Structure 1
Amino acid sequence: MRDQERGRRRGQGELESQVLVALHEAPGPVSTTWVQERLGGTLAYTTVITILTRLLAKGAVTREKAGRSFVWTPTADEAGLAALRMRRVLDGESDREAVLASFVTGLPPQDEQVLRSLLEQAREAEE
């Protein structure tokens, strides 16, 4: 890790994203040690296990028993992880419609157009 990064505190979800990137680059299911080494080996093994366990709880990875430990496989990419976070926030709100309305009205026009296009594609796929 570079000196300037040592003192910097990572943003929420940054480690999860780094772990997912590493898992997507993996040749197949990999051990916690493999992930730890892929991230530069500066994180404690227990930290990597904690991140993987959180990703498992979010449905972003799966694990299989391999000997006395586990091997890990991604089920979501970074965009999928962000979508899982968004759904979790939305699920925690009592007025989903108000939250969605506030979200949509706060989008820049370009993002609003992308969302409209995606919704139209989803609608057509259902038909």
Structure 2
Amino acid sequence: MAIRGFGDLEAVVMDVLWSRSEPSTVRSVHDELASRRQIAYTTVMSTMDNLFRKGWLSRDKVGLAYQYLPIMSREEHSAKLMRTVFESGGDSELILNFFLEQMTDDDSAKLRHVLQRAVEGEPT
């Protein structure tokens, strides 16, 4: 599956859902978003339904409402986005080189640590 980034509101909704460790209703997501910005309940409902239809969320009917959960973690989604970049048809060595040039020292240390664990066969 080709992975693409989210639209602006989709990204906001996914951030809310990723920050939770349990299924969430449209009402609970709307209430959280409405505390920070003006947004209609139906807009949140449509966005979550779109994310479900696109395969980003699962949902189960509980009583009269659906409860939604992300299909993958934020980290899994980010990793799939990175993989998509390498499969984009550009020169993957150049892409990686440009990426590495933009890394902070902290990011570089984390990358070295993960690569070392992978070489040693340790689980992540």
The amino acid of 2:73's aligned partner reads A
Name which of 24, 33, 45 aligns with 2:27.
33
Task: State whether residues 23 and 30 of structure 1, in contact with CA within 8 Å, keep that contact through their aligned partners in structure 2.
Answer: yes
What's the offset of the Cα at 1:81? 4.1
Task: State whether residues 16 and 29 of structure 2, in contact with CA within 8 Å, keep that contact through their aligned partners in structure 1.
Answer: yes
Count of residue correspondences: 114
1:114 and 1:38 map into 2 onto residues whose CA distance is: 33
What's the offset of the Cα at 1:40? 1.6
Task: State whether residues 29 and 72 of structure 1, in contact with CA within 8 Å, keep that contact through their aligned partners in structure 2.
Answer: yes
**Corresponding position: 1:50 with 2:53:** no
2:55 and 2:100 map into 1 onto residues whose CA distance is: 24
The alignment partner of 2:121 has SS state of: helix
Corresponding residue of 2:68: 72
Cα distance per residue 1:35-61 (max 9 Å; x no partner)? 1112126323444232663487474x4
1:81-96 correspondence to structure 2 within 5 Å: 81-96=77-92
Cα distance per residue 1:8-32 (max 9 Å; x no partner)? xxxx866445434432455732222
1:51 and 1:90 map into 2 onto residues whose CA distance is: 29
What's the offset of the Cα at 1:72? 0.8
Structure with greater helix share of residues: 1
TM-score (norm 2): 0.59
Question: Greater relative contact order (Cα 8 A, min sep 6): structure 1 or 2?
Answer: 2
The amino acid of 1:113's aligned partner reads A
Task: State whether residues 56 and 62 of structure 1, in contact with CA within 8 Å, keep that contact through their aligned partners in structure 2.
Answer: no
Name which of 16, 19, 30 aligns with 2:13.
19
1:81 and 1:27 map into 2 onto residues whose CA distance is: 16
